[in-house]
Amino acid sequence: MARHDVTTRSKNGQWVNEIEDAPELSMSFRSREEAEQAGREFAAANGTRHVVEDSEPTGAITDGGDPDDPTPTAEAGGAPRNQSGPGD
């Protein structure tokens, strides 16, 4: 691939545009359609190729943040355990 070619693919439940030789320019999207459109536009603006890798979306975003973050858990009443309620 040439410098700044764009590859649109499903990754960890999201659609991403990975930019060859420039990972800082890579972006993620909620839908395949958004990612494809942005990938086409980036490639057209930079004179590079845009490739879409076919993949079935999982429907679940698995990027949960930092592994050391506490996992919110709902208790009775629906309030997450790691948050204070009114008056606390």
On whether the CB atoms of residues 33 and 20 are closer than 8 A, the answer is: no
Q: For 1-27, what is the mean pLDDT?
A: 91
Q: For 17-45, what is the mean pLDDT?
A: 96
Interior angle at CA 28, CA 30 and CA 60, nearest 5: 45
Q: Decide if pLDDT at 86 tops 80.
A: no
Report the pLDDT value the prediction gives residue 12, as an integer from 0 to 100.
Answer: 86
Report the pLDDT value the prediction gives residue 65, as an integer from 0 to 100.
Answer: 55
Report the pLDDT value the prediction gives residue 79, as an integer from 0 to 100.
Answer: 46
Ramachandran angles phi, psi of 28, nearest 5°: -115, 155
Q: Which of 51, 65, 62 is nearest to 11 (CA)?
A: 62
Which two three-digit tokens encode residue 51?
A: 């490739």
Q: Decide if pLDDT at 83 tops 80.
A: no
What is d(CA 39, CA 81) in angstroms, rounded to the nearest whole number? 40
Comparing 49 with 70, which gets the higher pLDDT? 49
Q: For 37-64, what is the mean pLDDT?
A: 83
